[in-house]
């Protein structure tokens, strides 16, 4: 955890978990209804009967509040995946990712658009939401290296997380939908596994 994140966490400790969840839900509702630009400190304060000054004191900026709400919702999607095989781990990551995308399309689209348009939000999301997921996928591959399934010097290792997470976004642009479980699994089988496995 960065110094900035630790400081923010210490400040938020004065708010009960229930109240924090209520504030985060208000942020997510505003995102779904009108996108990132519709989220304001005033709007969140009004919906939750919370003082605007409290929001600024606890989170500092709108990007930090939005990022915290998204991070709390995601709960480290890929962390903890460990089936014992590379194929099993990647198939499980594909299943989880496709299931989550189908559940909240409006929220995903609002965040994706804002990510490109707002550098301050992009920076916050990279540190708090994206980096842990990339690290979790990297850990899946590292365990496969340690088991001898993937050669340690395989140049494809560096591209697994970007490729996997990129699929979750690009298919929406090309096919007007997020990839379902079968499409995500097919990507793992046809693209990732053949270039990674020693016996591939």
pLDDT in tens, the chain (200 residues): 555 554 555 454 578 999 999 999 999 999 988 889 999 999 999 999 999 999 999 999 999 999 999 888 765 678 889 999 999 999 999 888 777 655 566 777 778 778 888 898 888 888 887 888 899 999 999 999 999 999 999 999 999 999 988 876 665 544 545 567 788 889 999 999 999 987 65
Do residues 132 and 79 touch, judged by C-beta distance below 8 A? yes
The pTM of the full predicted model, rounded to 2 decimals, is 0.70
CATH number of 75-196: 1.10.357
Q: Is 75 left (phi over 0), alpha (psi -120 to 50) or beta?
A: left
Partnered with residue 150 across adjacent β-strands are 197
Delimit the domains of the chain by residue range: 3-72, 75-196
Fold of the 3-72 domain:
Tetracycline Repressor; domain 2 (1.10.357)
Do residues 171 and 177 touch, judged by C-beta distance below 8 A? yes
7 Cβ neighbours under 8 A, 6+ residues apart: none
Structural element, H or E, at residue 178: none
């Amino acid at each position: 955890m960065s110094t900035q994140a630790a400081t923010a966490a210490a400040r938020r400790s004065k708010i009960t978990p229930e109240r924090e969840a209520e504030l985060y839900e208000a942020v997510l509702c505003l995102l779904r209804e009108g996108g990132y630009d519709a989220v304001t400190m005033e709007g969140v304060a009004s919906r939750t009967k919370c003082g605007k000054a409290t929001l600024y004191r606890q989170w500092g900026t709108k990007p930090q509040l939005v990022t915290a709400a998204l991070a709390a919702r995601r709960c480290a999607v890929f962390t903890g995946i460990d089936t014992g095989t590379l194929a099993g781990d990647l198939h499980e990551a594909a299943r989880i990712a496709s299931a989550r995308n189908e559940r909240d399309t409006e929220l995903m689209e609002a965040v994706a658009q804002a990510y490109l348009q707002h550098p301050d939000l992009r920076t916050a999301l990279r540190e708090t939401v994206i980096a842990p997921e990339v690290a979790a996928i990297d850990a899946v591959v590292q365990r496969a290296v340690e088991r001898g399934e993937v050669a340690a010097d395989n140049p494809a290792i560096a591209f697994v997380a970007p490729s996997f997470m990129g699929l979750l976004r690009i298919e929406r642009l090309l096919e007007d939908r997020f990839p379902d479980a079968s499409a995500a699994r097919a990507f793992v089988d046809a693209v990732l596994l053949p270039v990674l496995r020693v016996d591939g």
